[in-house]
Amino acid sequence: MPSPALLKQLAKKHGTPLFVVDHDVLRRNFAEFRKGLPRVQPYYAVKANPDTAIVRTLFEAGASFDVASMPEFRIAYENIRKMPPKPRQHWIWDKIIYANPIKDNDTLRQLNPYKPLVTYDNLEEIRKVRKYAPHAGLMLRLNVPNTGSVVELSSKFGASAGEAVDLIAAAFKAGLVVEGVSFHVGSQCANFQNFVQALAIADGVMKEARSRGYAPVKILDIGGGFPAPYDRHVRPFGELAAVLNAEFDRLFPPDMEILAEPGRFLVATAATLVVEIIGKSRRDGKLCLFINDGVYGTLSGVLFDHCQYHLKAFRKGPTEICSVFGPTCDALDVVSVAEDLPTNLKLGDLLYSENVGAYTTASATHFNGMPLARIVALNR
């Protein structure tokens, strides 16, 4: 992260709340992912942080993109639209996958001219794609174990293994082409066996599909869930990479096209938030601090991402456990009830929070008319 001195300097220049993104960290995270999983092409999950500078840096580093809405598609497409088309008809597949299994009709109409690669997991979606985006290539989203992941997704998306090949057959019968299968083990996955079980399920589905004559099923999308190192309890990425590489070699031929959708892993550690203390009181003997950003703003991940962001002070001194509240008038705007911070903090003092790059500014709102944090890029 940037040094405390640099953070204070930037806050003095730009004001607070301030969201500082270090693009060198983005590049290092991307390089670590590629080195750890050399068979996998990373499709950055734009939903994790759609900041255009972040998207461009990752594109320049070699990333493709996972998008889940037309605004995200346009952010990603803006980076690739000047590339010369490749000889293959569906050159855009190399750079973008529309990985939201449920799409409205208007979105499909807009996607159709691009001949996109899109996910699906039910019969109704096949009918919609056939009618509104017949030029799309399909990826069947599978339901896989999400045990131990911070954010569970299997209850909302994914076809069961028992119905998977029938859904592949239904798509081909409708005149569409299923290019492969995908899955997601849940966000911030701490249970690496989720990946092992998911790969076994995908392997079984692909083998059955080929045995029934659906040979074009040749792309494997292993989704996201790669854990960001928020603290020392998170198992290293290298351990997961070793597990995945062993399973790739055991289950899939060398020419299998494998892609992944890392979001949090690439951006979480690349950003730091700087805030100002705007209020201070004691309630029932407990120190309470009010800051100019909160759960309706950059720290929205407290609500939407099941994440706890810890605050640090620039000022030194004896500490005590205190509560930290955001600036809105809503009682829900509680950043933390157990932060260990200096007792001698004053109004106007600055605090900072590390590892806030993922699912923070992405879900921030203007509730109560509060301004969003200014974004500053370092080493862009």
Q: How confident is the model at residue 349 (pLDDT cuts 50, 70, 90)?
A: very high
- Same structural domain for residues 256 and 328? no
Q: Are strands 334-342 and 312-313 parallel, antiparallel or unpaired?
A: unpaired
Q: Among 73, 57, 69, 58, which residue's Cα sits nearest to residue 114?
A: 73
- Same structural domain for residues 228 and 273? no
The backbone region for 359, taken as left when phi is positive above 0, alpha when psi lies in -120 to 50, beta otherwise, is left
DSSP secondary structure letters along 294-336: -TTTGGGHHHHS------EESS-S-EEEEEEE-SSS-TT-EEE
- Same structural domain for residues 279 and 244? no
Listed residues 208, 233, 267: the one ending a domain: 267
Within a 10 A sphere around the Cβ of 330, how many other Cβ atoms? 14
Count of CA atoms in the C-beta half-sphere (13 A) of 289:
32
Bridge partners, 139 (sequence order)? 119, 180
In the block, residue with structure tokens 């029932």 = 284
- Percent helix, strand, coil in the chain (nearest 5)? 35, 25, 40
- Look up residue 268 and give its DSSP letter: G
Please state, in angstroms and rounded to a whole number, the distance separating the CA atoms of residues 102 and 87.
30
CATH no. for residue 361? 2.40.37.10
**Could you tell me the CA-to-CA distances from 187 to 56, 190, 239, 255, 343 in Å, in that order?**
23, 9, 17, 28, 36
Q: How confident is the model at residue 90 (pLDDT cuts 50, 70, 90)?
A: very low
Which pLDDT belongs to residue 84?
55
pLDDT in tens, 235-285: 999 999 999 999 999 999 999 999 999 999 999 999 999 999 999 999 999
Residue 153: strand, helix, or coil: coil
**Longest Cα pair distance anywhere in the chain, in angstroms?**
72
pLDDT, mean of residues 100-104? 97
pLDDT in tens, 240-249: 999 999 999 9
Asked if 272 and 20 touch (Cβ cutoff 8 Å), the reply is yes
- Same structural domain for residues 63 and 147? yes
- How confident is the prediction for the chain on average, in pLDDT? 93
DSSP secondary structure letters along 222-248: ----PPP-SSTTSPPHHHHHHHHHHHH
**Could you tell me the CA-to-CA distances from 339 to 109, 179, 299, 321, 325 in Å, in that order?**
49, 49, 15, 5, 11
Tokens of 136: 């799309």
> Sign (positive/negative) of CA torsion 39, 167, 137, 261?
negative
- Same structural domain for residues 297 and 252? no
- Look up residue 119 and give its DSSP letter: E
Q: How confident is the model at residue 291 (pLDDT cuts 50, 70, 90)?
A: very high
- Catalytic residue set: 329
pLDDT, mean of residues 46-54? 97
Range of the domain at 280: 4-19+269-378
CB-based contacts of 306-309 (< 8 A; 24+ apart in sequence): 306/150, 306/151, 307/150, 307/230, 307/359, 308/336, 309/273, 309/335, 309/336, 309/353, 309/355, 309/356, 309/360
Listed residues 267, 288, 311: the one ending a domain: 267
Where in 100-194 does DSSP place strands (E)? 117-120, 137-141, 149-151, 177-182, 187-189
Q: What angle do CA 237, 239, 245 make, to 5 degrees?
A: 100
- Same structural domain for residues 263 and 349? no
pLDDT, mean of residues 308-315? 95
Which pLDDT belongs to residue 133?
97
Which pLDDT belongs to residue 302?
94
- Same structural domain for residues 360 and 330? yes
- Number of domain units in the chain: 2
Please state, in angstroms and rounded to a whole number, the distance separating the CA atoms of residues 74 and 65.
11
Which pLDDT belongs to residue 23?
98
Q: How confident is the model at residue 83 (pLDDT cuts 50, 70, 90)?
A: low
- Same structural domain for residues 227 and 280? no
Listed residues 267, 291, 322: the one ending a domain: 267
* Helical (H) or strand (E) element with 163: helix 161-173
pLDDT in tens, 166-189: 999 999 999 999 999 999 998 888
pLDDT in tens, 196-215: 999 999 999 999 999 999 87
- Same structural domain for residues 65 and 132? yes
- Look up residue 371 and give its DSSP letter: P
Tokens of 161: 């293994």
CATH no. for residue 129? 3.20.20.10
- Same structural domain for residues 234 and 327? no
- Same structural domain for residues 99 and 231? yes
- Same structural domain for residues 153 and 53? yes
Which pLDDT belongs to residue 93?
57
